[in-house]
């Protein structure tokens, strides 16, 4: 059984993961409106992945006989000035999520909840990958700068994500 503190913290994480999904969907919509279909595709896939993360937390809460409580999801921004600005926002957001996951790991240890601690290790590893991927795109966009051809090439590459 989950402690009340752990259950509340995991429910907050469900909301954070759903916001991540919503944020990346908003970015995808913005990119599509600006005719950057590849960036949009990458973010659509990322949005779905984040919803999957939320569902992993939901399942863990349920498996531990906890109660899932769904709170309102905050409204994300609707527009970003440049692809670089959008992906810098992605990287910043992933760093925030990493901090939240690390806080959950600490709480699980404090609550002596080994089962949740073990389950959270998947998310710890996943966040390393999430930050790495976002950072790579940010660094590529910095190198590209305002190059139309560079942006189109990266747009094409990111559109191949499945």
Q: Helix 114-144 and helix 83-110: axis angle, to 10°?
A: 160
Question: What does the block give as tokens for 98?
Answer: 């990493």
DSSP notation for 98-153? HHHHHHHHHHHHHTT-HHHHHHHHHHHHHHHHHHHHHHHHHHHHHHHTT-HHHHHH
pLDDT tens profile 87-97? 999 999 999 99
How many structural domains is the chain composed of? 1
pLDDT tens profile 96-139? 999 999 999 999 999 999 999 999 999 999 999 999 999 999 99
Q: What angle do CA 77, 125, 46 make, to 5 degrees?
A: 35
Domain of 145, CATH number, reads 1.20.1260.10
Confidence class of residue 1 from pLDDT cuts 50, 70 and 90?
Answer: confident
> What does pLDDT average to over the chain?
97
Question: What does the block give as tokens for 77?
Answer: 């921004």
Range of the domain at 118: 4-158
């Amino acid at each position: 059984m989950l402690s009340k503190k752990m259950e509340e913290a995991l429910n907050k994480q469900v909301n954070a993961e759903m916001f991540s999904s919503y944020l990346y969907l908003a970015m995808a919509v913005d990119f599509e409106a600006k005719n950057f279909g590849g960036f949009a595709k990458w973010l659509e896939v990322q949005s779905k992945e984040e919803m999957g993360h939320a569902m992993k937390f939901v399942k863990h809460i349920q498996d531990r006989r906890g109660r899932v409580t769904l709170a309102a999801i905050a409204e994300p921004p609707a527009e970003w000035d440049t692809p670089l600005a959008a992906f810098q926002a992605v990287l910043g957001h992933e760093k925030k999520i990493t901090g939240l996951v690390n806080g959950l790991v600490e709480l699980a240890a404090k609550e002596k909840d080994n089962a949740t601690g073990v389950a959270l290790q998947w998310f710890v590893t996943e966040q390393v990958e999430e930050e790495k991927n976002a950072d790579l795109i940010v660094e590529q966009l910095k190198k590209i700068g305002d190059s139309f051809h560079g942006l189109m090439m990266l747009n094409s590459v990111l559109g191949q994500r499945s």
